[in-house]
């Protein structure tokens, strides 16, 4: 890329100085489907879609991981509680058996 500050527009084949004040180029300069960053293959429309898909996948992954971890913790806690109850019952049974002897 000869000039990374250049906004290439395919509609009129011109290189415009990138509008620094806005993240996306305004449609008055060039439509998103025809705007490229420099004289390059980076299409703004495709870039926005790709970034949205990646951000969505990251958010979904984080949500799934959090839900899975919470579910596993809850499940392991309930197992521990059940084991503690069984041990307490066995202790009580042993105590009663020793008292009966």
Position with higher pLDDT, 51 vs 23: 51
Question: What are the residue ranges spanned by the domains of the chain?
Answer: 1-41, 43-100
- pTM score, whole prediction: 0.56
For the stretch 42-57, pLDDT in tens is 788 888 898 999 999 9
End-to-end CA distance of the chain: 92
Residue 8, classified by CB atoms within 10 Å of its CB into exposed (0-12), middle (13-18) or buried (19+), is buried
Please write down the long-range contacts of 80-84, taking CB distance under 8 Å and 24 or more positions apart: none
- Contact assessment for residue 31 and residue 63, using Cβ atoms and an 8 Å cutoff: no
Tell me the C-alpha distance between 15 and 29, whole Å: 11
């Amino acid at each position: 890329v000869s000039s990374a500050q250049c906004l290439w527009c395919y509609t009129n084949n011109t290189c415009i100085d990138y509008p620094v004040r806005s993240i996306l180029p305004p449609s008055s300069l060039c439509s998103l489907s025809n705007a490229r960053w420099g004289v390059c293959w980076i299409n703004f429309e495709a870039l926005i879609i790709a970034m949205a898909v990646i951000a969505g996948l990251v958010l979904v992954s984080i949500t799934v991981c959090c839900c899975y971890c919470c579910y596993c913790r809850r499940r392991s806690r309930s197992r521990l509680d059940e084991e503690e109850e069984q041990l307490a019952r066995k202790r009580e049974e042993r105590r009663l058996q020793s008292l009966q002897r």
